[in-house]
Structure 1
Amino acid sequence: MTDPAPEPPRPPLPGQDAVLDAHTYDRVLEPGSDKRLPLGDGTWHQLSRNYVWVRLIALGIIIVILAAAFVVGTLVLANAWPWIVGGLLLVGYIWAAAITPRQARAYAYQLRADDLVFRRGILWQRQVAVPYGRMQLVDITHGPLDRAFGIAQLKLVTAAASTGVTIPGLTQSAAEQLRDTLVEVAESRRTGL
């Protein structure tokens, strides 16, 4: 018995790219080295610009809590040593806040004929291809800060833990559109297994 012919790549749904690319960056930033992971062909979609604000606010809250904890620690212990630890932690979080915009522009995903490709990272680059037929769950989550800025994260779960992907910072409409598209395509691919 012969296997059925593979389906031809589906064209994007009308307006799909407009929904996925609304309020996002216009291009993927790449490291300057020739040894980087190549972008390849196709349309890469990026995160919402509001993702940067959500990350900066979250890091700012952590910085304020740490600073308050170390002020209280210094007053209670009547010693200055908590400021050494606190200073190192604060420098780390301030550094994280400074590189957040560049990190957010390094996130991208691409819908291909047989899989979704997700890339992230500047120094430690990661590029994962998740086959549509292997997706078991597509989950959308968003916390209070995410809801205030109209963003969500989409999580793809497969049988192999190493290929699970979480795409943060999608607009709510892009997350819903992407979820519906991925579920539809995954169901059509899974029937042949």
Structure 2
Amino acid sequence: MDSTAFDVPGVSWTPISDKLIGVRRLTAGIWLGIPLVATAVPAVIFGGAVWIAPAVVALFLVWAFWLIPRQVRALGYAELDDDLLIRKGVMFRSLSVVPYGRMQFVDVQAGPLTRRAGIAQVQLHTASAGSDAAIPGLPESEAARLRDRLSEAGEARLAGL
């Protein structure tokens, strides 16, 4: 497998917190657990081929629980002198390069489950509407530090805005 398009020489990647695995597994368990129960009840009552539906949902749940740790461990970011690099993906890989001078503002977001786990997401907003620059699963203190660092770097390198 040739991954030269995603290898950046001399870059030290910062991983995100493994706590995101638990949050994503809990979310998947809720979103797939409800249909699992909803399809299992008729299967218990009627039996037969009705068991296909809960079996399919259970397979999706097992697949999600297997896939989530791989996805989370593939996430990472690197702070360079002029750019922020964000990588994600196992099968469908992505490498985003966000110049500090193009950042308009930086958000820190946390829902109830991520707050309980002590993690947050840093969302970068640029002039490009198609920009998908987000770093989920950061410890709250690291998210605040990164928000401040990126805001300062963006102001210092304001490029044509």
What TM-score bracket applies, with the shorter chain setting the length? Answer: 0.7 to 0.9
TM-score (norm 1): 0.74
Q: Distance in 1 between matches of 2:86 and 2:66?
A: 24
Paired positions, count? 160
Q: Deviations over 1:9-38 (max 9, x none)?
A: xxxxxxxxxxxxxxxxxxxxxxxx233521
Is 1:163 the equivalent of 2:135? no
Secondary structure of 2:58's aligned partner? helix
- Give the structure 2 partner of residue 175 of structure 1: 143
CA shift at 1:89, angstroms? 2.8
Contact 1:158 1:164 in 2 (8 A): no
Q: How does 1:1-193 map to 2 (within 5 A)?
A: 33-35=1-3, 37-74=6-43, 78=46, 80-190=48-158
Superposition RMSD on alpha carbons, in Å? 2.1
1:36-90 CA distance string (max 9 Å, x none): 52143222111112111111222222332122111344468x4655532332232
Aligned-partner residue type, residue 123 of structure 1: M
Cα pair 1:129 1:163 within 8 Å, conserved: no
Q: Which structure carries more helix by proportion? A: 2
Alignment partner of 1:129: what SS?
A: strand
Distance in 2, Cα, partners of 1:112 & 1:123: 26
Alignment partner of 1:136: what SS? Answer: strand
Contact 1:137 1:156 in 2 (8 A): yes
TM-score when normalising by structure 2 = 0.87
Q: Distance in 2 between matches of 1:177 and 1:80?
A: 57
C-alpha contact 1:116 1:129 (8 A) present in aligned 2:
yes
- 8 Å CA contact 1:47, 1:108 repeated in 2: yes
Structure 1: 5+ residue stretches without partners: 1-32
SS at match of 1:163: coil
Worse-matched range after superposition: 172-181 or 87-96 = 87-96
For residues 147 and 62 of structure 1, do their structure 2 counterparts lie closer, same or farther at Cα, with a shift above 3 Å needed?
A: same
